[in-house]
Structure 1
Amino acid sequence: KSIAKLPCTYPALNTASFISSYNQTTPQDIAHRASFLINQPNWKTNETLKSFVSHMNPTVAAQVILLQNHHFSLALRFFQWVCQHSTYCYDITSRIRLLKLLVSSNSFRIAHKVVIELIKTCSSNESDLLKLMEALDEKRETGFRLNYPCYSILLMSMAKLSMGVLAFMVYRRMIAEGFALAAIDYGMIINALSKVGFVCQAEMFMSQSLKLGFGLGTHVCTSLVLGYCRKKDLSEAFRVLDVMSKSGGCEANSVTYSILIHGLCEIGKVEEAFALKEGMKEKGCQPSIRTYTVLIKVLCDDGLIGKALDLVREMIGEGCKPNVYTYTVLIDGLCREGKIEEANGMFRQMEKGGVYPGIVTYNALINGYCKEGKIVSAFELLSLMEKRNCKPNIRTYNELIEGLCRVNRPYKAMILLGRVVNNGLLPNCLSYNILINGFCREGHFDMALKIFELMNSFGVDTDAYSFTAMIDGLCKQGRLKLANGLLGKMIKKGIEPDEVTFTALMDGFCKSGNTGGASKLLKMMIENGCLKTCHAFNSILHVLSKECELVKQYALFGKILKHGLAPSVVTYTILVGALFHADKVDQSLSMIELMKQVGCPPGVYTYNVMVNGLCQFGRVEVAERILDSMSDLGVSPNHV
């Protein structure tokens, strides 16, 4: 059937009659009716067609597209439109089904255009692009092959998604099918390989590109700079920069310098990064928004908010207006420093300047409010976010759930979790872990255990943090048998316990007086190679100090040093207290001097133990001298 065989006009159809006729006609009739409507002027605004298409499945949509066999641009426009308006063609799976129907009808010319459109749609989602590639591989068996434009767009999307290995496989297929790649295709492959660290392979492609007569190009060299920076090989990255400066038509641009500046910041060479910013100016390349934002972030990460704000002023003075990422970095930095009011002021300033906050900006400020215990302000910001059609994500709700738990409202946090589900979001492992930790902190261990046990039934796997939080909570309640059983389940599930897990259980054994069980756990820690600090030893040392087992304490202190661990302030403080208990006052004072010599200065609790011990032995004058010297040493005495 063709459009020419259809009557010139259809009777006037209203939405109700059109939809009611939907189930009374064949798919072919429905396709022809839709085809007639999209051939009319301003068809996208036709309310009848909108209602009709909202119920259209991929089979009917494919028939409508096939009827436009002499009008490919209209066919493509309808494909794009139906994907936006049909509830049956909204997700990638349905769209792929629609593509398969077109291929099965041997309409390869339309199918190629649809493939390009789908690749563009998937260019920000690796999972969706992999589904599309799998479907295309299936259709190869029926004789459908991608043309050059499809392959070229596919390489672009792969470069964007850092899919280097698959980009190389696509390249091999293109060569096998006889395609001659353009300079832009080689550039995309080099970019994709560089992003995943295969810089040597990327350089091989660059050499091949040069042999074919293609120029070096700023984009290609910048990709190599990016690859070396991601490998933290800055010497090679600067080697490429040197090559760029000596090659005509391949000058480094602000993107190149921004990547290098970020690379320097990543390895802690902040001064060199700032020097490079000045160096690029001297070479006539003005720093971009990204250049400044990278440097502002590293200053915020180091807690140098004042300098970060100075850099923003410099940025504005250079005519470089901060964008949403710049403001988000500043707001996050201010929140981390506890300067919530300044962060809120920055939020208002960005809006006043016409920069609209994104979801990451809202999340940073919500997190800041929650950490300060200002839950009402955090929920007010959530309401503002929703009012402005900025849909909260699971991280937004996790920040709020943690905020409620922080102010001792875990049951309200549970209610909020229900709201998360109602809003179409799926709570993740972190959501449940926050709740478990919140209930444990409040002493509601049975509720925490119930949430822990329900996680798997909700399709969420428990992780090391889930087990550790429960083990720690149960140990604090004295339910060691259940906590030890959870450790066994954890290991059986293939989750390796870390130092925090073992230490939590060891602390429980020690507090119950079971030093034998604690020693066995310590041995397991050593065998598993997860002994990173002396915290586990401190638990046993504390028990031994109560039992006045000074010899055993010294032996354990020797083990700490034997395993290459640095004793902490807590370790030394326990030993100082033990020496006082053993009437060895002079040795206690010598231990204090040892702490200073090894770069582990005594803390306020150490001084409390020492002053108390000296007073008990009648050496009040010595205690007073120590008390007077505390302020000079940067330690403020407390009420104890």
Structure 2
Amino acid sequence: MIRRPSIYVPTLSQSMFFSSSSSLIALHDSHSKSTLSPFYNLLPPTQNPNNIVNLISSILKHKSSNLSLLHSSNNDIKGILPHMGPHEISRILLRCQSDHSSVLTFFNWVKNDLNITPTLHNYCVIVHILAWSRVFSHAMNLLSELIQLVEVEGVCVPPNDGIYENLVECTEDCNWNPAIFDMLIKAYVKAGMVEKGLATFRRNIEACFIPNVIACNCLLSGLSRFNYIGQCWAVYEEMGRLGIHRNAYTFNIMTHVLCKDGDTDKVTRFLDKMEEEGFEPDLVTYNTLVNSYCKKRRLEDAFYLYKIMYIRGVMPNLITHTVLMNGLCEEGKVKEAHQLFHQMVHRGIDPDVVSYNTLVSGYCREGKMQMCRSLLHEMIGNGICPDSVTCRLIVEGFARDGKLLSALNTVVELKRFRIKIPEDLYDYLIVALCIEGRPFAARSFLLRISQDGYMPKINTYNKLVESLCKFNNVEEALILKSEMVKRSMILNLVAYRAVISCLCRVNRTLEAEGLLEEMVSSGILPDVEISRALINGYCEENKVDKAVSLLKFFANEFQVYDTESYNAVVKVFCDVGNVAELLELQDKLLKVGYVSNRLTCKYVIHGLQKAMEQDDEMLGHDMLEV
């Protein structure tokens, strides 16, 4: 058995003599299968498993279409393909490392056509080859793919080994470029694994692979995005210690970090430091600071920087003005924001939908909806299409002011200009009309907009059904329910309760009981109000037997014990003076779990009096006959 040599990890001093274009070194046998039988050499070359590396390498070295050659040769070598393992894959990659296109062709053929998942070592070999060939985009894609497999899916992970260790180990076997270790930092950040990116940054420094400024900036940006403020400053200081030349992008990232840190007073000192290192704050720097001051409601400081920008020859742009306008609007200074808007336009900066939305939002807060409408017309006149934010701000603004008709007219107006209305805004208006007690207007509006392909959300349907039932328009509610069934929607508990209660109020209790069965089969359990509506409905229709049956049903099946429903049944018996049957029923219901109250006793006393009166009448009638 061949003894595996120890792993060689170059230090900084050693790496000076270890060329990135080093000659090929013999591959470790740790990834190899067991030694194949020498009798295989008696077979024809295309059937000899020992020959698989030579055969495929030979095919790949043809300058014509390598992939088509692999496919066409598949019948010749398919018998030995099962013998191709991770070791053979790496050997083939190394044989062809001078031609990156052949390497990629083979690697993709293994993954996609043979459905073999390459190992961590296979991936590391190919990314080294691609980085050495300066095909950085492909190398980056494969690094990202490897991170997904190893860090997320847990595939290709040997015990106590990782991507970094394998990348270092593979430098012994193939041509390599130190840039791959910078790319690993960026790949981790791109995958959202900034902690891994930071760990790689530190390991690179320990191994004397000094990261370049682009990798450092990528790491700083990722750390900032995930609010690792302390680590940002640690990396920034480490860059200075290592002599990594920081650029304007570095300083802009750190300016943003300063603003997130909440200590804007440090900004002046940091800007001075930028200038000491030869970097003038640019437009991005100033916009970052202006935005930070506005968010902290330090408008004086924000406008001071705005003036400094002109003094230093950095012209404020649309973003600068929009941020300042938003800051003014947040302080309730919408008039001043509008003045700044006009000032921006006079200086030749064309507004966009965001700057208009900023003003519209400010005027909406003050309830100045006519001004919002004027701005809407101005936008359209200037060829700026209102977006979903514009539509929502104006429509909801009118609705908040109790001007739903104006909100609906605005929607009609926007549709006339062929402006797309967000569907959730339609839902908002339908629900708002229902809450205002105008379900018929909501239903009419729904019919009109449905012609454009709009489909209400299930909650909107339920709210409209509930609102229609409050006005006893049960027929329209049932039509809506049928529409919902066609669209595989079901009523919620509130809507079922509304329809059942409405049917009971209009003496259609039997239909209501059918809906009860439907909702139970849909997995929705009835509540006390549904029990009360059905039992009261049957009592109103003098179907006391049905009412009694439901009392028992709700108690036994759903543990719903409603004393009000119980008293409604008691009252029916007492009104007709049928006390004997009532007392018998009462014993049964008490055993089920119903409890009498003061009103029950009052009804029973009333029933006894009624029964006595009936007995007296009967007695008097009998005496007259005698």
What range is the shorter-chain TM-score in?
0.3 to 0.5
**TM-score, normalised on structure 1?**
0.46
Q: Which has the higher contact order (CA 8 A, sep 6+)?
A: 2
